[in-house]
């Protein structure tokens, strides 16, 4: 295995075919054992604002052996060593994945999209990565969408001042037995202690996405990435 399996992430990139050149971007990470297509398949269900020119980038996690699954190799953003509420993980993997996401943001900036128009989203493991990437990032971002996840690096995060006012939406299932709701509450407590504002959503669901939540995801994206008049 390469020393940094996240050095060159493959991505599925989707543009709005009817909106012209994109002026905003959502970078959306899937969960453990999943693929970049998971949330790409959700796009038709979103109610995005008419005229929104949003590019969606869905990175694919590399294949890694995962300790909690007996070393079985699967798409993963980091090796997970335990599943208890104080779950242990491979910190080097997570740091490398976070840096790779930051590089994806920089690529979008280089392509002409301002950092303030880039939103990071992630589910489960992917959410843990974007928590770290967004709150360490040295340029202002549009928003952070944390889905059924936890703030794995809350004790090592730099909490860069550039994103102190970052809009954050934490969405979690009340019946989640994979990432228990207490972990979402713990993330919220850390954010509150560091002076962040966030919105909190809970749903009667397990470790998944539900219909009611799709409306909240759509509203958050529309609010963070409002339609701009074409120059």
Rounded to 10 deg, the angle between the 125-136 and 91-110 helix axes is 60
The pLDDT of residue 134: 98
How far is Cα 150 from Cα 138, in angstroms, rounded to an integer? 22
pLDDT at 202 > cutoff 60:
yes
The pLDDT of residue 160: 98
The pLDDT of residue 8: 87
The 24-29 sheet, strands edge to edge: 10-14, 54-60, 24-29, 118-123, 143-147, 168-173, 199-203
The pLDDT of residue 1: 56
79 given a catalytic annotation: no
Active-site residue, from 38, 67, 207, 218: 207
How far is Cα 34 from Cα 134, in angstroms, rounded to an integer? 22
The pLDDT of residue 63: 95
Residue 212: in which H helix or E strand, if any?
helix 211-224
pTM to 2 decimal places:
0.96
Looking at the DSSP bridge assignments, the partners of residue 56 are: 14, 26
3 given a catalytic annotation: no
The pLDDT of residue 20: 65
Domains along the chain with CATH numbers: 10-224 (3.40.50.1820)
Quick: pLDDT tens for 30-53: 999 999 999 999 999 999 999 899
Quick: pLDDT tens for 129-185: 999 999 999 999 999 999 999 999 999 999 999 999 999 999 999 999 999 999 999
Give the SS3 label for residue 119. Answer: strand
Q: Is the Cβ–Cβ distance between 138 and 102 less than 8 Å?
A: no
pLDDT at 219 > cutoff 70:
yes
176 given a catalytic annotation: yes
Active-site residue, from 22, 124, 148, 169: 124
pLDDT at 108 > cutoff 90:
yes
**229 — pLDDT class (breaks 50, 70, 90):** confident
The pLDDT of residue 230: 74
pLDDT at 2 > cutoff 90:
no
The pLDDT of residue 78: 96
């Amino acid at each position: 295995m390469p020393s940094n399996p996240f050095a060159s992430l493959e991505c599925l990139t989707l543009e709005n075919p009817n909106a012209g050149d994109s002026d905003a971007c959502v970078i959306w990470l899937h969960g453990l054992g999943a693929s970049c297509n998971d949330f790409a398949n959700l796009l038709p269900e979103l109610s995005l604002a008419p005229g929104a020119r949003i590019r969606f980038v869905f990175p694919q996690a590399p294949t890694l052996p995962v300790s909690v699954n007996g070393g079985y190799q699967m798409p993963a953003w980091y090796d997970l060593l335990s599943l208890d509420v104080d779950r242990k993980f491979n910190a080097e993997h997570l740091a490398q994945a976070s840096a790779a996401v930051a590089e994806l943001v920089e690529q979008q900036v280089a392509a002409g999209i301002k950092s303030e128009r880039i939103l990071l989203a992630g589910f489960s493991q992917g959410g843990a990565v974007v928590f770290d990437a967004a709150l360490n990032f040295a340029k202002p971002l549009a928003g952070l969408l944390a889905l059924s996840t936890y703030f794995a690096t809350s004790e090592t995060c730099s909490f860069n001042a550039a994103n102190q006012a970052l809009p954050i939406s934490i969405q979690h299932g009340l019946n989640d037995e994979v990432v228990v709701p207490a972990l979402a509450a713990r993330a919220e407590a850390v954010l509150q202690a560091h002076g962040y504002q966030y919105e909190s959503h809970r749903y009667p669901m397990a470790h998944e996405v539900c219909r009611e939540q799709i409306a909240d995801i759509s509203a958050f994206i529309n609010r963070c990435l409002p339609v701009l008049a074409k120059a």
